[in-house]
Each structure stands twice: as C-alpha cells, then as structure tokens.
Copies of this chain bind each other. A is one copy, B any other.
Amino acid sequence: MKPPARVETQSPNAAKVTRGHKKKARTREQLLNAAFRIYGRKSVGELALSELAEETGVSNGTVHNYFRTRDDVVHAVSLELAVRFSQHIAAATPVLGAERLSLAVRSFVRRAAREPAWGRALVNLASYSDVMRSALADYLREDLRVGHASGELRHTHEDVAVVMVLWTALGAVESAVEGSHIEAHDSVVAEMILLGLGMSPQKAKRLAARVLPDAPASSDSY
C-alpha cells in the first residue's frame, strides 16, 4: 500500500511546473492563431511583432515572452500547421499511397478556393520557410514511396518527385487564391501530378476524379 501523500512528495515542484501553465499554453495558441490569420493577409516578412500583439489582444511585451523574432513565429506556426495537417489527412485516409497523395493535393486546392486567406497563409509560409516545406515534404515522401513500391507510381527520382508535387500544389493553391475559377480545379491538378509521377493516363484520370467527402466546416483558424 503506497501512502497517497507520497504522490505529492515525489514531485515537490509539480506545482511549480504547472503554475500558470494553462494560461501560458492558451496565450501561445492565441498568438499562433493570430499569426496565421496575419499570414493570410500579408507576406511573412511583413508581419510585425507589434501587429501580432494587437491582433492577439495582448501587450507588446507578452509577444516577446514567446517569440524573440519574426522567424521564431514562422517556425512555430509552420510546425503547428504541419501537425494539424497530418492529423487531418490521417483522419481522412489511413491508407498511404497514390490515393492519399491525390487526396492531400485536392484538399489543399479545395480549401484554398473556399478560404483564400488560408491558402494565402499556406503559400506565404511555404514560400518563406523551409521548415514548412520540409514538414510537408515528409508526408508526401511517405506516399510516394508506398506508391512507387506498389507499382502505381513510376517516378525515377524521389527527391525530384517530392519537389514537383509540393511546388505544383503550392502553385495551384496560389492560383486558386488569386481567384482563377477552374472547373474541377483540384482534380485537374491531381491528374497532372499523377501523370508526372508516371501513372497511366486512364488510372490517373480515374483516381483524380474520385468523389470527395464534403469539406468540414472551416474552423476559426487553421
């Protein structure tokens, strides 16, 4: 029988560690959300820490307690976005491969058309931050590898393929954001990518045209 008091004894500074933790986490999240919203309006280099403070509704000094420089903000938002994205995709299709790749590209393009601010933020981040690009590339690479192993995809060089998929998707997002209304934009883009990866034209067309579940209601942030 262990004496329950010992729980406290074991970690005497647990209180210390937790003190103000929840508030701190909440503030940080608010800051990241605000930053993402700003990236939807202006380029990464134009975000001013003071603007971030105002958008979040905290003081100038508070922002500095969390982020010392603009780049700290970009970095943190990139990581957070990558995490959320992966959770989203994993929830939608647990199966790796060409299909998931197509799905990911298409959902990017669709969301960008629906929420231009989101798309602009994505492009801004990915253009600026190699952290963002790496994070996205890591997910794509998994699908490419599985697709290649299964014979669906026949690209000759994985790294080049990753670059092609990523940048083409970003370009499509960018043009969707700029308001080019293209019929079934997401499918056209996905098909072209799959072709580039060596999939047969018929399969590419079929896979890229699969019906997609309706988008989830867009949350407040990203």
Given contacts A43-B45, A195-B195, contact A171 B166 (CB under 8 A): yes
User: Does chain B have a CB within 8 A of A185?
Assistant: yes
User: Does chain B have a CB within 8 A of A172?
Assistant: yes
Select A182's contact among B12, B127, B157, B201, beta carbons within 8 Å: B157
Chain A residues at the B interface, C-beta cutoff of 8 Å: 2, 5, 7, 9-12, 43, 45-46, 127-128, 130, 155-157, 159-161, 163-164, 166-168, 170-172, 174-175, 178, 180, 182, 185, 188-189, 191-193, 195-198, 201
A156-B194 Cα distance, complex, nearest whole Å: 13
Question: Do residues A161 and B46 form an inter-chain contact, with CB atoms below 8 A?
Answer: no
Given contacts A164-B168, A168-B163, contact A11 B12 (CB under 8 A): yes
Nearest CB on B from A1, distance (A): 11
